[in-house]
Structure 1
């Protein structure tokens, strides 16, 4: 089974919080194999296990067991991406939670939320399953806090949970937890999540505009069917993620997905694709985007796209786009009238050989 992925949006505010707490966010991101320059691409998918590792490392490096809660303070409803548009317009908190549960895979495939109701109380249970046996304390605290904030946004500041529960033990200092939740959390509990009065979930959503509800539903329907993402889509995301790290190979992609390379080949073949074709297309798209911008030098781009030398990158780029990187960047400057050529789907033998195999 493929390992779950999460959106970069799961790390919203990470740079700011890390710097505020005196740790190096760039170094920590690279330690877990994530590209710091891609943090602003919120809808890009990355391994959920990498996010979990990053949060645990950041908590340890900063000496702050409440790291995830500090990160949650930077969350807004919009962090949920397109899903936030529809959640905002649901008539009450219960229907908003049900929508979040139904479409949670659009945000984080490792996140699992379940809601049960009994004797006037509703338990919203949260778990994180990153596909590996790694600590998830910080990830769980982040997810529970985000659900708490969602309910607070929908119901108003007057709402308070009956209890907030965590399966893990109490930290030495739980003052941030008390402040965030407005009540002392219960640690070493049977589950992680929130217990609230069922009646509170029937309260009208104070953010909702009934006139926009139909439009919000139509918008969500155009975005995604709540079906499991395909391996083909995951391969494309992982290729884009791994190329700048110099570790983009079918073996590495297969390991990230939790399958063998034959499974990757088989799924790609079903859609008439090969791994090499996906790699070539993604490499060309990244090159086009990086060269058109001014953030990176051509030497840096060459390294990020796994070329052995800047000259081999330049030769490959000219074959793909019909212009040198320098000319392409000039034509992409403000007021440029036209582009020269279009990227081709094939790739030179030299360029293919420049991609590391492991």
Structure 2
């Protein structure tokens, strides 16, 4: 089953596309999206179409930084009921944790997680792309990644002050021809070709108290969000999120994933089986999707990509990739995109 997102993710997209003199309905149809999703907020649509629309809009509008402009229009309120959980958080870190814990309930194609290191908090942002076959190579994920992190920066500026910027920012993709638009949003400390997409907050920023943090108020909102959201996130999505976290940090195993999720490895296997998944499927899919991101959008050599994805050697990575995609990884290196105008 393809991952699903809410059409509220497209809030403001049609108006922004029109401001460039382009037809948003025509762009939607071009990628196979019903234009109604541009104007109605309660429609479930494949996550891949949301990602593809952002990329297609950037191309049609000839603006590499289309997503940064969209981030000025959108906000965390597009998350619907999850927005209530964010508002009820006691601190900035708790608000980010609420997003990480519940984001898949809004969009199965996006995952977030927090990493604590060196007295700072990293808010990491991931894309799931159903990477199978040539259609997985049709569009990159740069726009949706920059949108999610830029939108988060603008929301944090509303809390921490207009002059606030992350301690530093990481992107998996290569640097664009001009980094100034990114620096205006994220500050001067931006690194590319990294092992994650993330903004980093100081301990002081992450512990900053939020308004409306009274315990009684939080309890009321948390009861409301649980009632609205209904079922919890499937075990497969939780395991997938954890695998992506561990791929950044250390050797990934089902025992480590299960421990982080607070269950035994056997219990996790049984839950995944009930959902028609296996741990190995999730592990392979995560490595494949991240490999495609590196190959298409970064400047990393294959040897570095293989090492980051925990393959024993480059040959093992090449065999894995060809088995999954039907082509060697070097074919994507040759087809790396040139920067958009």
What do the CA deviations read for 1:309-332 (whole angstroms, capped 9, x no partner)? xxxxxxxxxxxxxxxxxxxxxxxx
Asked if the contact 1:177/1:184 (under 8 Å) is kept, the reply is: no
Which residue of structure 2 lines up, in the alignment, with residue 244 of structure 1?
Answer: none
What do the CA deviations read for 1:299-352 (whole angstroms, capped 9, x no partner)? xxxxxxxxxxxxxxxxxxxxxxxxxxxxxxxxxxxxxxxxxxxxxxxxxxxxxx
2:201 aligned to which of 187, 193, 196? 196
Which residue of structure 1 lines up, in the alignment, with residue 120 of structure 2?
Answer: 121
Q: Secondary structure in 1 aligned to 2:124?
A: strand
Asked if the contact 1:166/1:187 (under 8 Å) is kept, the reply is: yes
RMSD over aligned Cα atoms: 2.2
Change (3 A) 1:93 1:110: same
Say whether residues 1:179 and 2:179 are aligned partners.
no
Asked if the contact 1:156/1:206 (under 8 Å) is kept, the reply is: no
Which residue of structure 2 lines up, in the alignment, with residue 143 of structure 1?
Answer: 148
Which residue of structure 2 lines up, in the alignment, with residue 101 of structure 1?
Answer: 100
Which residue of structure 2 lines up, in the alignment, with residue 254 of structure 1?
Answer: none
Asked if the contact 1:102/1:226 (under 8 Å) is kept, the reply is: no
Structure 1 unaligned spans of 5+: 231-266, 268-358
2:222 aligned to which of 207, 217, 224? 217
How many pairs are equivalent?
230
User: How big is the shift at 1:207?
Assistant: 5.6
Q: Distance in 2 between matches of 1:103 and 1:32?
A: 28
Q: Secondary structure in 2 aligned to 1:103?
A: helix
What do the CA deviations read for 1:64-120 (whole angstroms, capped 9, x no partner)? 110111111111332111111121121101111111111111221111112111221
Asked if the contact 2:168/2:187 (under 8 Å) is kept, the reply is: no
Which residue of structure 2 lines up, in the alignment, with residue 227 of structure 1?
Answer: 233
TM-score (norm 2): 0.63
User: How big is the shift at 1:204?
Assistant: 0.2
Which residue of structure 1 lines up, in the alignment, with residue 45 of structure 2?
Answer: 46
Change (3 A) 1:20 1:30: same
TM-score (norm 1): 0.60
Q: Distance in 2 between matches of 1:46 and 1:112?
A: 17
Asked if the contact 1:154/1:207 (under 8 Å) is kept, the reply is: no
What do the CA deviations read for 1:134-182 (whole angstroms, capped 9, x no partner)? 3111111112212223333343335321111111112222332122223
User: How big is the shift at 1:9?
Assistant: 1.3
Change (3 A) 1:207 1:215: closer
Which residue of structure 2 lines up, in the alignment, with residue 17 of structure 1?
Answer: 16
Asked if the contact 2:115/2:123 (under 8 Å) is kept, the reply is: yes
What do the CA deviations read for 1:243-270 (whole angstroms, capped 9, x no partner)? xxxxxxxxxxxxxxxxxxxxxxxx9xxx
User: How big is the shift at 1:62?
Assistant: 1.3
Q: Distance in 2 between matches of 1:193 and 1:16?
A: 28
Which residue of structure 2 lines up, in the alignment, with residue 307 of structure 1?
Answer: none
Change (3 A) 1:170 1:207: farther
Q: Distance in 2 between matches of 1:41 and 1:206?
A: 31
User: How big is the shift at 1:46?
Assistant: 0.5
Q: Distance in 2 between matches of 1:19 and 1:200?
A: 37
Which residue of structure 1 lines up, in the alignment, with residue 27 of structure 2?
Answer: 28
Structure 2 unaligned spans of 5+: 237-274, 276-341
Which residue of structure 2 lines up, in the alignment, with residue 37 of structure 1?
Answer: 36
Which residue of structure 1 lines up, in the alignment, with residue 66 of structure 2?
Answer: 67
Change (3 A) 1:114 1:81: same
Asked if the contact 2:120/2:203 (under 8 Å) is kept, the reply is: yes
